[in-house]
Amino acid sequence: MDPGTNRLAGIIAQVALLLSSSCGTTGEDACDSGLVSNLPPSAFRSSSQLSSSHAPGFAKLNRREGAGGWSPLTSDRYQWLEVDLGERTKITAVATQGRYGSSDWLTSYLLMFSDTGHNWKQYRQEDSIGSFPGNSNADSVVQYKLQQPAVARFLRLIPLGWNTNGRIGLRLETYGCPHTSDVMSFDGSSSLVYQSSAGSRRTSREVISLTFKTLRNSGTLLHAEGQKGLRLSLELDGGKLLLLLTRVWPASPEARRLASLGSLLDDQHWHHVAVERRGAHLNLTVDKHTERVQIPAEFNHWDMEKLSVGAEQKPVSKRNFHGCLENLLYNSFNLIELAKHNGRQVTVTGNVTFSCAEPVSAAVTFPGLQSFLQLPGATASTSGGVSVGFQFRTWNKAGLLLTFDLPQQAGVVWMYLSEARLRLQIHKGGRVMLELSTGSALNDGQWHSVELNSRRGRLTVTVDKEDGGIAHASPSFPIAIETHLFFGGCPAEDSTQECRNPFNAFQGCMRLLTLDSQSVDLIMVQQKQLGNYSSLHVDMCGIIDRCSPSRCEHGGSCSQSWTNFHCNCSDSGYSGATCHSSVYQQSCEAYKHNGNTSGQFYIDVDGSGPIKPQLVYCNMTEENTWMVIRHNNTELTRVRPSPAGSRRSVHLDYSTGDEQLLAVISQSDHCEQELSYQCKKSRLLNTPEGSPFSWWLGGPGPGHLQTYWGGAHPGSQQCACGLQGDCVDPQHYCNCDADRVEWAEDSGLLTHKMSLPVRSLVLGDIQRPGSEAAYRVGPLRCHGDKSFWNAAFFDKETSYLHFPTFHGELSAEISFMFKTTASSGVFLENLGIKDFIRIELSSSTQVVFSFDVGNGPLEVGVESSVPLNDNRWHRVRAERNVKEASLRLDELPAATQEAPADGHFHLQLNSQLFIGGTASRQKGFRGCIRSLQLNGVTLDLEERAKITPGVRPSCPGHCSSYGSLCQNRGRCAERENGFDCDCSLSAYTGVFCHTEVSASFSSETSVSYTFKEPYELSRNSSALPSSIFSDMTLRGENVSLSFRTNQSPTLLLYVSSYYREYLALLINKHDKLEVRYKLDSSREAEVLKSRVRSLANGQLHTVSIRRLADSVSVQIDQNAREDFNLTFDGEFNAIKSLVLGRVYDSDELDPDLVRLASLGFAGCLSVVHFNSISPLKAALLHPDSSPVIITGPLVRSNCGFPSSANPSTSENSHHLSDQSGSVGSGQPLVNAIRTDSALIGGVIAVVIFVIVAGLAVTARLLYRRKETYRNQEVKGVKQEDSQDLPFNNQTDSQNASGENAKEYFI
């Protein structure tokens, strides 16, 4: 670490150390001493007692005095037992026992703590679960160790459940140790300032820690000031703690928020805070939660000089801290202790006391729908008015706050929340007589004050006084409380109809209730001495912030009600109850298996893991499925000559983040990146001294220095030509190092994954006179997915794979694919002491996800309507989070099971994870499992299967599951990892044989497909001449094509025969389709006319013609099929050729077809199929290897698609050069946008001229070549030279031209 960074320790480092110390106890010492057994009887209190022998003082563990324990007068949930430990104590465990020799014990209870005997705080397990398990008999002891120790003086236990054959009975013990602390109170004007000494040494770890309590939701806890006028602050804002960075001088208008943590910190309970500096990071901790923060660059040379706690040196402000601090520590300094002893580095100002005087204000919690508080109306004042006040806090948008009757007016007053606004309604005779509304966003969990006043005919409703809103009205009738007031709700059984609630019940907290300016004593209410209530928790506010910390993952936004929370996953890229599951696939390979074609896709490499989705291009047109990630400079770029001695540095910025890049490279089977350097008197790698002129950086982070070039091996300091031994100068290892005045090139692919991606280039030899160069770094391309095909085959029920324990305490997602012929078996199992998780095939049609997190086993099952043991791949996705458990099977609706209403538990597992079986080796799975991922992490089944008996790596046979993706007669061919769609027998192309092959024809265009010729058939045959055509005789045809034209009449397709027989497909002058068959040269052609009109309307039409003997059927578009019968049951003998478009060889045509054939066809033809021949596809894709002759212009287009717009399924393949290099006198082709030279425009002009000239010459040669084809004798094509063109004497026998490059599906 450089000295500047070390100096950063100042405030951050020191603020950090301040926050690291504990709250005053020695954590290393044992803290498990009994705390209750030696207390006097006066330390115990209770809500009631059955008799003097059942008094609370007898509730000591394992004691038999009195009646053997405490029992209340009545057994209900309003009873409690309280223990005063005498002083604040650290409590680590609680044990319970039933009343001795009785049938009285607790089965569950709540545990509460307090410093004052008021303002109780409920202890919750795992931040959520409120109840503790009790006993099952009167004598056994059940001890529960607190996950987080509690520090309190008072303990209160509230029974929730007890033996149904007895009553509440209890003996208890608590365990812990003394808690020592230094406390200081601040009143908003007092402060403590610590001044660091000038010679204090910085340390690598600095901590500030403290514990505080307050009733104010805003205020500054501390400032840490240092050099450059920078200041770190800890401030309360809305009950949350903010870590802020501000600039004191020159003054900055706004503070920069570095972190926000905690919530509801204004509850007058102790909260622990720590700020710790470690290296370049700050850790902010509030209670049990920590957030890591990157230190801003401004702090690289900053030291803390002063630490201020409490009020700033200015008049009292609301932003000053009101409350108590405990154990304020900076590194090893106890600042409160220094203040007590008047330490010279500590200055105390204002009214500071070294104790914590707490105001006593009881709150009441309305937890459920049956909660209400009934109070007697105050004595009517002389003015006959009303004055009611209270404070409330809630998360709910709606609920009844207050209601009372107006007997004299036969009316009722309702004050309630609706859409988080306060509303007041007065109903009389069933009509709304008056309505007021004020306030907004009152469901934010903050305390809000409400005042209702009615005096002298004026009604006023006020919310939050000057900070809120106020509403007025002047009713024409008096408002007075003559009977009772009801807060929060109404009694369930109210025969008097004194309370009616047409709204939701209120769920939240209230405090500071006043009637006619007189405070309501809620403790008297609790003791049944005032009013009445039901289902209330008195003397505590049980509000919980379920969104702090947020359980919504991946940036999902959290909202909540009193009992639940909701995650909004919109625009996050994730779904589920907690935004845990990615909505995107993990690779292009996975998208391809969903039936997608080339295009832009979001890829989530680690699924539900922390890496964010990234947008990539998936190229699915090649044998492999490529993931293409571009950067900011993929074009060939000219390098401007640099001044002597200087180098040119090029930095590449990728479209995705570093984390995503490295994950893609790691997960892929193969990655590559083209690296090219074109040079003219510009050397590349080798120099006389052996050090390179140029180099590049690649790999993780900023990259590592690499001195080899594309096509060579890492560390070789060579180019591809050096590896292949064909450099232009054998004395060098790169073409460019020959230092010639002619243009040369060194290029190739970088394939070493540890060196990818290329981060930057440094080009050196570009400053000499005459030096010219250009470079190109292609996009990163990767194919293969190690996760997607990672599979294992289990051939025995007793075989299994085992892995380390799965850790999915609060969020567990498991996904995999399986195929089997068995009707049942366990896919996965992991056990704990009590907890477990299991996924199994319970029957041939059902998958079950079961688990136990300590609150009993739960099951989620999905039933399939089709058998799952069909030896096809099926996908399973199971998830368990704090809200629910869900199970998905294939595309069936998800089955869900909500989490228990009282909260969530951690899933605690400790055994090995078993795959394909169980620990007992029973109910094992027989079949294949692949792509198994746990919380986004792939388990390597194949590697483990290689060393496990009874399990084999990989699973063959994918066509049964994915073969349906091959369309339009495409054939599925198996591969080890995946399959291909072989489109050789299809008129379509593309990865799934789904892309239409279309071409635009002009009147001069002709495509002639030649079948076998006589000499070819007879060359190796002894057959007589009269029989040489026997295997080209057809008794039927299947013909289909699509077309688009405005021309009529016109000839679409013509098939000729050596016997002057033919088949013609044409549009007549009436825009109708005609099919002409001439199957006997001695008879006239038979004309079959379709009734479908308007076929020359420029729209796309599809025609299908089938003949078998004398039966012919014609189908056009979606019209009804038309059936015809020929008068002659003949054969189509010795077929010769098939022509699309213009027929140039018209000597053998019938006279009525000659003129039509000479007109040609102008329009679009698409997916032409004759039996198994695809002549248009052969002409467009394989003209050199197919027996086709093309005359005139033939342009491939997308005109065969129904829409004129470019179809989303169209695919474009961009191939990178894989040549190692070339040498020539021409200059490189450089993209004008990426050029660094002003002369590039001239270069481009020259290049364009050369291209145009070349195209002109090529066109002339092609034209002459086609004319030659037309006038010379047709040449035969050998069958052995065209393996994809077999012929036989079957009706559907002629196979189309094979595609040289198959469309592979991997």
pLDDT at 1094: 92
Residue of higher predicted confidence among 34 and 1211: 34
pLDDT of residue 952 exceeding 50, the answer is: yes
Question: What's the mean per-residue pLDDT of the chain?
Answer: 83
| Closest listed residue to residue 963, CA positions, set 992, 927, 984 | 992
For residues 68 and 58, the answer to whether their CB atoms sit within 8 Å is yes
For residues 1009 and 1175, the answer to whether their CB atoms sit within 8 Å is yes
pLDDT category at 296 given cuts 50, 70, 90 is confident
Give the separation between CA 21 and CA 210, rounded to whole angstroms: 8
Residue with tokens 């094979």: 1298
Range of weakest confidence among 737-746, 939-948, 968-977, 1208-1217: 1208-1217
pLDDT at 314: 57
How, if at all, do strands 518-519 and 508-515 pair?
Answer: antiparallel
pLDDT at 1244: 42
Collapse the DSSP code of 705 into the 3-class scheme (helix H, G, I; strand E, B; otherwise coil) and give the result.
Answer: strand
pLDDT of residue 1224 exceeding 50, the answer is: no
Range of weakest confidence among 483-487, 829-833, 1235-1239: 1235-1239
777 burial class (0-12, 13-18, 19+ CB within 10 angstroms)?
buried
Distances (CA, A) of 1060 to 128, 937, 1032, 1153, 1289: 90, 69, 14, 13, 20
pLDDT category at 1106 given cuts 50, 70, 90 is very high
476's CB contacts (< 8 A; 6+ apart) are none
pLDDT at 496: 62
pLDDT at 203: 64
The DSSP output letter for 201 is P
pLDDT at 1250: 46
Identity (one letter) of the amino acid at 997?
Answer: V
Identity (one letter) of the amino acid at 1155?
Answer: R
Residue with tokens 């022509």: 1139
pLDDT at 26: 41
| Closest listed residue to residue 409, CA positions, set 379, 431, 442 | 431
Give the separation between CA 1254 and CA 1269, rounded to whole angstroms: 23
The two tokens of residue 328 are 């304020």
For 73, other C-beta atoms within 10 Å of its C-beta total: 15
Give the separation between CA 704 and CA 844, rounded to whole angstroms: 54
Range with the largest mean pLDDT of 79-88, 293-302, 1074-1083: 79-88
Distances (CA, A) of 982 to 997, 1210, 1305: 15, 18, 9
pLDDT of residue 618 exceeding 60, the answer is: yes
pLDDT of residue 890 exceeding 90, the answer is: yes
| Phi, psi at 654, each rounded to 5° | -95, 155
pLDDT at 497: 64
Range of weakest confidence among 5-19, 468-482, 1034-1048, 1149-1163: 5-19
| Closest listed residue to residue 945, CA positions, set 792, 789, 787, 788 | 792
Collapse the DSSP code of 1134 into the 3-class scheme (helix H, G, I; strand E, B; otherwise coil) and give the result.
Answer: coil
For residues 747 and 1219, the answer to whether their CB atoms sit within 8 Å is yes
Bond into 700 cis (ω within 30): no
For 353, other C-beta atoms within 10 Å of its C-beta total: 13
Residue of higher predicted confidence among 1232 and 426: 426
How, if at all, do strands 271-278 and 281-286 pair?
Answer: antiparallel
In tens, the pLDDT along 702-728 reads 889 999 999 999 988 899 999 899 999
DSSP 1209-1222: T-----PPP-----
Range of weakest confidence among 1009-1013, 1041-1045, 1161-1165: 1009-1013
Residue of higher predicted confidence among 326 and 206: 326
Question: Percent of the chain beyond pLDDT 70?
Answer: 84
Q: What is the mean pLDDT of residues 211-232?
A: 86
pLDDT of residue 126 exceeding 80, the answer is: no
CA angle 416–422–427, rounded 5-degree value: 50
66 burial class (0-12, 13-18, 19+ CB within 10 angstroms)?
buried
Residue with tokens 């907004």: 440
| Phi, psi at 143, each rounded to 5° | -110, 140
In tens, the pLDDT along 895-947 reads 998 887 665 678 888 889 999 988 776 788 999 999 999 988 899 999 999 99
1210's CB contacts (< 8 A; 6+ apart) are 995, 1198
pLDDT at 495: 59
pLDDT at 397: 95
617's CB contacts (< 8 A; 6+ apart) are 598, 599, 600, 601, 627, 628, 629, 630
| Phi, psi at 281, each rounded to 5° | -130, 155
Per residue, the 3-state secondary structure of 1285-1304, as one string, reads CCCCCCCCCCECCCCCCCEE
pLDDT at 1251: 53
Collapse the DSSP code of 637 into the 3-class scheme (helix H, G, I; strand E, B; otherwise coil) and give the result.
Answer: strand
The DSSP output letter for 1180 is H
In tens, the pLDDT along 969-988 reads 888 888 777 788 888 778 88
Residue of higher predicted confidence among 691 and 1231: 691
For residues 965 and 992, the answer to whether their CB atoms sit within 8 Å is yes
In tens, the pLDDT along 665-684 reads 999 999 999 999 999 999 99
pLDDT at 614: 92
| Phi, psi at 693, each rounded to 5° | -75, -35
Distances (CA, A) of 608 to 877, 944, 1302: 12, 24, 35
What residues pair up with 157 in beta bridges, in sequence order? 81, 111
Give the separation between CA 526 and CA 1103, rounded to whole angstroms: 87
Give the separation between CA 1123 and CA 1114, rounded to whole angstroms: 6
Give the separation between CA 84 and CA 81, rounded to whole angstroms: 10
Distances (CA, A) of 26 to 19, 21, 181, 184: 16, 10, 11, 21
pLDDT category at 1242 given cuts 50, 70, 90 is very low
Collapse the DSSP code of 267 into the 3-class scheme (helix H, G, I; strand E, B; otherwise coil) and give the result.
Answer: coil
pLDDT of residue 1260 exceeding 50, the answer is: no
Q: What is the mean pLDDT of residues 1054-1070?
A: 91
pLDDT category at 761 given cuts 50, 70, 90 is very high
pLDDT at 352: 87
Range of weakest confidence among 753-757, 915-919, 1137-1141: 915-919
For residues 1190 and 1181, the answer to whether their CB atoms sit within 8 Å is no
Q: What is the mean pLDDT of residues 794-801?
A: 88
The residue count of the chain comes to 1306
The two tokens of residue 583 are 């909505």
For 358, other C-beta atoms within 10 Å of its C-beta total: 16
pLDDT at 1235: 36
689 burial class (0-12, 13-18, 19+ CB within 10 angstroms)?
exposed
pLDDT of residue 889 exceeding 90, the answer is: yes
Range of weakest confidence among 334-338, 846-850, 1221-1225: 1221-1225
pLDDT at 384: 64
